[in-house]
């Protein structure tokens, strides 16, 4: 394993990043989605669309993908020195974050873009097409 001083800092920051992202996911799944479900459909959709736009900011994206980059670095360091006692735990933790947080996030983004195009580029609020600003909403679902 690399020298302890900076490597410990990397592990600590990665663990804190994982905890922050887990907290966001926990909050979203335990009470944000329930609150959205209690709203009238149009209001819930509008709020979810606002969340989807607001979440794209340097703070959240920095933590989400900065932690992923740190996990990749830790996984590489673990593979290089698999004989170290903590190497397998670092590899396991890194892979769990990448598979549990980043892979589903990327899959959801790709799937969401696919559905948006299948719907003709339509935002569900008001049925207005983003491309032509006409009332051309026809759902493909």
Reply yes or no on whether the pLDDT at 125 is more than 50: no
Helices (H), 38-138: 41-54, 58-80, 87-97, 103-118
Predicted pLDDT at 41: 84
- 103 pLDDT band (50/70/90 cuts)? confident
Domain extent listing, the chain: 4-127
For 18-72, what is each residue's pLDDT tens digit?
A: 999 999 999 999 999 999 889 988 888 888 888 888 888 999 999 999 999 999 9
Torsion of CA 123, 121, 34, 94, to 10 degrees: -140
Q: End-to-end distance of the chain based on CA atoms, in angstroms?
A: 51
pLDDT at residue 111, rounded to an integer? 64
Alpha-carbon torsion (20, 21, 22, 23), positive or negative = positive
């Amino acid at each position: 394993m690399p020298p302890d001083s900076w490597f410990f800092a990397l592990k600590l920051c990665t663990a804190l990043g994982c905890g922050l992202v887990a907290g966001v996911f926990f909050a979203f799944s335990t009470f944000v989605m329930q609150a959205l479900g209690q709203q009238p459909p149009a209001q819930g959709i509008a709020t979810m669309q606002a969340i989807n736009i607001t979440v794209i900011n340097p703070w959240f994206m920095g933590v989400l993908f900065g932690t992923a980059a740190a996990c990749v670095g830790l996984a590489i360091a673990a593979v290089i020195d698999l004989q170290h006692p903590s190497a397998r735990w670092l590899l396991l933790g890194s892979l769990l974050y990448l598979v549990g947080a980043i892979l589903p996030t990327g899959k959801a983004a790709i799937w969401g873009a696919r559905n948006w195009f299948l719907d003709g580029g339509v935002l569900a609020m008001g049925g207005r097409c983003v491309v032509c600003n006409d009332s051309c909403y026809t759902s493909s679902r």
